[in-house]
Amino acid sequence: MQKEDNKIYELLRKEIANVMKKSYPGVNSDVSEWKGQTITDFQEDLLQKVNGRISEKWFYTHMKSPGHTLPRIDVLNMLSQYAGYINWDDFRHRNLVNASLSDTLAKSNRVFIIIPLIILAVVAVLFTFYKIINIQNYLFRFIDADTGEPILNTRIQAELLLNNETSVSYLSDNKGNIIIRTNQSKIRLAVKAPCYLEDTIIRIVKKFNRNEQIRLKSDPYSLMIQYFSQTNVEAWQSRREQLDRIISDNAMIFRLPDRNEGSGMELYNKREFIDKLTMPAKSLRQIEIISSRYENNQIAILRFRNKITYR
């Protein structure tokens, strides 16, 4: 009962503010904000309308910062009359339903706020759990599309292409395999491998079969150049003619330094590269093609390094 009466008294304070605003339109709607002249104006308005008197100390105690104890019944009757009611019992009876309804609505609002928050939290936890348990490791093996043999190369590069995110790069191990950890069911890989054509692979991965094979098509021109550097072919004129046909006149050819070499990168044009690859001095030996790019079915850009055997 005391709790309900306190709520009804809060309604009375609001009614008093509304009545006060009729005489003093600029007054604050929150009684607890009244001070100084506003309190004096309220005392005068109360005296004129219901012949009631309250002290400033009483106002600060019961109106500005009301406590748990209600004012005396005679003061409640006077304030209720100021608000337009017969007495406190009249005000209480007519506003008891409103106070109960306000309390019910407040509880309902809390329910409508709390339940969706709980549901969102549960969904977020379940979604996070789902993402975690669906992250799997997938092993990709690369094989030669012509021979069907595994490509045993540690320089196979794969970029995992993601929607609206930066791609993730992977490098093969000493068996030519790449392990990709993802929760995606459909993945796109941009694959580069020495002496093989670049390709973009699309796979629908299966959670119960996490071993995938990818076939790569060999790059015949790169293989030819690499073969020329590793064999003692005496028909050097024929070799020069073959190289002249497969390399563009404006080709840019880069020799990349080995990790253990102190020299920097070297740039060759078409003629310089053919000369070094075919001259009897055999300046370039055992080269390894890193990457190549084509224009009009000719090599336009070539990157390679010398294979060095350390004894």
Same domain as 99, residue 7: yes
Question: What type of residue sits at position 270?
Answer: K
Which domain-ending residue is among 83, 103, 123? Answer: 103
Which tens digits make up the pLDDT trace of 46-92?
Answer: 999 999 899 988 888 888 777 667 888 999 899 999 999 999 888 88
Which tens digits make up the pLDDT trace of 105-117?
Answer: 555 556 667 787 8
Q: So what's the pLDDT on residue 134?
A: 66
- In angstroms and rounded to an integer, the radius of gyration of the C-alpha atoms of the chain is 44
**Residue 200 counted as domain residue:** yes
**Both structure tokens of 101:** 């309804």
CATH number at residue 229: 3.10.450
Q: So what's the pLDDT on residue 176?
A: 87
- Do residues 287 and 304 touch, judged by C-beta distance below 8 A? yes
Half-sphere exposure of residue 274, counting CA atoms within 13 Å on the CB side?
A: 19
Same domain as 12, residue 85: yes
Nearest in space to 45 (alpha carbons), one of 36, 54, 33: 54
What lies within 8 Å, CB to CB, of 211 at 6+ separation is 138, 139, 141
**Residue 117 counted as domain residue:** no
Q: Which residues of the chain have pLDDT under 70?
A: 1-2, 67-68, 97-112, 127-134, 207-208, 232-235, 258-263, 280-285, 308-311
Give the helix, strand, coil percentages of the chain, each rounded to 5: 45, 25, 30
Which domain-ending residue is among 216, 233, 266? Answer: 216
Q: So what's the pLDDT on residue 264?
A: 76
**Residue 6 counted as domain residue:** yes
Q: Which domain holds residue 276?
A: 220-306
Same domain as 226, residue 301: yes
Q: So what's the pLDDT on residue 298?
A: 93
Distance CA 3, CA 45 (A): 29
Nearest in space to 292 (alpha carbons), one of 258, 260, 246, 227: 246
**Residue 311 counted as domain residue:** no
**Residue 83 counted as domain residue:** yes
Strand intervals (E) in 73-210? 136-144, 157-161, 168-171, 177-182, 186-193, 196-204
Q: How many domains does the chain have?
A: 3
Which domain-ending residue is among 103, 126, 153? Answer: 103
**Residue 251 counted as domain residue:** yes
Beta bridge partners of 171: 157
Beta bridge partners of 216: 144
Same domain as 99, residue 53: yes
**Residue 118 counted as domain residue:** no
Q: So what's the pLDDT on residue 103?
A: 58
Q: So what's the pLDDT on residue 211?
A: 83
Beta bridge partners of 201: 189
Same domain as 280, residue 205: no
Distance CA 43, CA 223 (A): 103
